[in-house]
Each structure stands twice: as C-alpha cells, then as structure tokens.
Copies of this chain bind each other. A is one copy, B any other.
C-alpha cells in the first residue's frame, strides 16, 4: 500500500484560490505562469505555491513555470470540480437569494438545483428560476435531484434543526452560513462561511 501524505486543509483551501486565479489567466490568454506570479496574484509566497502543488505531483517545467490550462484542469480534477456537483439551498432570505444568483455557478461545475424555505409567504415564489419548496420536500428532492451539498442560510436559532433534517436526508456536506456551530454525526462535513467574523476581527486591528 502506498503511503499517502495527508493533505492539510489549508492547502485544499488555497487550491481553490489558485484555481480561481487560473480561471482569470485563461481568460486573458496567458499560457504559462510561474510560482512567483501565482504567489503575487494570490498573496501567498512562491515557495508555498510550489509546496502546495507538490503534494499532488509534478506539474511544472523547471526554468519555465506551469502551463496555465493544464494546471487549471489538474486542480479542478483534484478538487473534484471536473464532475458536476448539485447543491440545495435552505433559507430564501436576502443572503440565500444572493447566493442563488451568484454567477460563479455558470463558470464552475457546481450549481444550486433546489431552494427551500419554511415561510408560507415564500413557498411557491421563484428565485433564480427555482420555485421555493417547503422544507418537508428536502428528503425527496435530495434523492430525485441527486443533491450532494446543502447550503444553509437560515437564522441561527433554526440552523441545528435544519441541519438535522439535512443529515436525515443523507447529505454528507453542508456549507453553513448561520453564525452558530451545528452538530452533525461522524461522516458529515460542515464548512462554515462566517461573514461577521471577518468584519469583527478587522475592527480589532483598527485600534490606534
């Protein structure tokens, strides 16, 4: 058995940033990029860029740099962006609406395919071409549509209950925008998108 090196989570996170920069470089028809430039465009050091990529193989050419198209494709494959990932969205408030309209989905290989809410006022209305469904539909929709990731944008007070229902429906990946920790069983992964932590922590550094 080959001894797989364990990849740190921060590396995976930076990989998504490289991928995004490579998107941009491709748009600009740049064909080759060095670790130095990749570093400048991401805010990481060139050494870190090379180290991160080296976890997965040798993608560059010494003396030259990295082939933009090839690296883009390779990172997409590593991250699992080479196949479609279907996501659901729970909570059709302002933030949920913003995410539903987010234009990254067109370029990337993942998209929101269903939107849920509990408010009778909202159910039946349409956001970004999706009819808002009641939460009681979650389990059925997950199966029918092959949803793999659920995005939660409900108020903090409702997040745990919603998460329970999501887990019950068989979902293994949750992106939680509610500003509260949710508890899930082993095998279910939760990523937190904490909008306010960045704002609050910034204030600390503005002290004179």
Q: What copy number does this chain have within its complex? A: 2
Q: Which residues of B contact A108 (CB under 8 A)?
A: 196, 200
Asked if A193 meets B204 with Cβ closer than 8 Å, knowing A94-B98, A97-B98, A181-B43, the reply is no
CB distance from A187 to the nearest CB of B (A): 11
A197 and B17 contacting across the interface, CB-CB below 8 Å: yes
Q: Does A81 reach chain B (CB closer than 8 Å)?
A: yes
**Bound CA span A81–B175, Å:** 28
Q: Is the CB of A149 within 8 A of B191?
A: no
Supposing A80-B207, A94-B101, A206-B148 touch, asked if A192 and B200 sit within 8 A by C-beta, the answer is no
Is A16 part of the binding interface, using a Cβ–Cβ cutoff of 8 Å? yes
Q: Which residues of B contact A104 (CB under 8 A)?
A: 179, 196
